[in-house]
Structure 1
């Protein structure tokens, strides 16, 4: 089985819900399995320390997860049109992985959630793509052959799966958001398997 890393940061649960649907899409592809991981929060208190294991949800990501995966789905909530600080902090610490080409040639995709429909989803997705390009990854979007992209009234963009959480931060995904997240997971897994077989 080839492992696809689904790595995310979620503050109120909606990005986690998307990650679960992307993982479900990955599992629909024979030969692929999702490895779901998260990143720890960051603090303005310099001495603050997180437990080694989160209180709930998947474990924190380790370098071995990046090395073992054949593809990566990266998710973060929107923060003023950009990825959240915990994801940026994690990515900023990947110099060794960059120098050693750990992610080079592997496919990747991105996903996000925002409070409003025009809350910066697309710019957040683009901001997450930039470090992936620097790592030499093959970045995938969602094609318009996914019909839900043309009629969704909630989340979903050609840059990646997304969710509109509303002001209350609701984590319940719409049918279109679920459909697009699973499609993105399937597409990532299909491309990852083809590239892995070609190596």
Structure 2
């Protein structure tokens, strides 16, 4: 099975922590986690951002999207919406939309905020919209996950979240549990859909 792409943008590290915890769940679900990030947007049009794996995951390419079996997409909240670098990258994927490259691939979304009511759910929903346009299958978090009932920090049925109150980027116990559950569910769905496509003789 092709790797599960975990794609995120993180300014202060909280969203990156979610991405890495989801990756643990993906691996537990029997898939390979491929972690990538989107480059920041500079106010200087001539500025070039270094793509140095030594300081973090490599920047994502369109080939990473084409070659994945599933996608976990993450962004911090910006006024109840995804961050501009994530939107900028998604706006560059129209060629994949025209080719139907992402149709029927499962996807989930995740976010972090610095306040309890900082727009977590609206940000998650905003990230789902372009994925739905791509024909992806959205995977949320069912309430069968105990941590979804017990959390007093982050966690929603729309996708995993982190509450970074007072700039704390460390995930709570419940947030980690939900990240692992989300990643595992995504990997298992990718495996099931891949098997179905193989049985139907479709390319994967």
Cα distance in 1, alignment partners of residues 26 and 63 from structure 2: 20
Cα distance in 2, alignment partners of residues 55 and 27 from structure 1: 22
2:27 counterpart residue number: 27
Which SS does the other structure have where 1:2 is aligned?
coil
User: Is the aligned partner of 1:137 residue 2:155?
Assistant: no
2:178 counterpart residue number: 180
Listed one character per residue, the Cα deviations across residues 45-65 of structure 1 (whole Å, up to 9, x for unaligned) are: 222221233561110001111
User: Is the aligned partner of 1:6 residue 2:11?
Assistant: no
4+ runs deviating over 6 angstroms = none
Cα distance in 1, alignment partners of residues 109 and 160 from structure 2: 7
Which SS does the other structure have where 1:153 is aligned?
coil
Q: Unaligned 5+ residue runs, structure 1?
A: none
Which SS does the other structure have where 2:15 is aligned?
helix
How many residue pairs were aligned? 197
Measured on the aligned residues, the alpha-carbon RMSD in Å equals 1.0
1:70 counterpart residue number: 69
Cα distance in 2, alignment partners of residues 4 and 105 from structure 1: 14
Which SS does the other structure have where 1:167 is aligned?
helix
Q: TM-score, normalised by structure 1?
A: 0.96
1:197 counterpart residue number: 195
Cα distance in 1, alignment partners of residues 51 and 146 from structure 2: 42
Cα distance in 1, alignment partners of residues 124 and 38 from structure 2: 17
What's the CA shift for 1:163?
Answer: 0.2
Listed one character per residue, the Cα deviations across residues 59-102 of structure 1 (whole Å, up to 9, x for unaligned) are: 00011111111100000000010000100100011111111111
User: Is the aligned partner of 1:95 residue 2:94?
Assistant: yes
Listed one character per residue, the Cα deviations across residues 139-176 of structure 1 (whole Å, up to 9, x for unaligned) are: 110000001111110000000000000132x2100000
Q: Unaligned 5+ residue runs, structure 2?
A: 198-204
Cα distance in 2, alignment partners of residues 51 and 175 from structure 1: 34
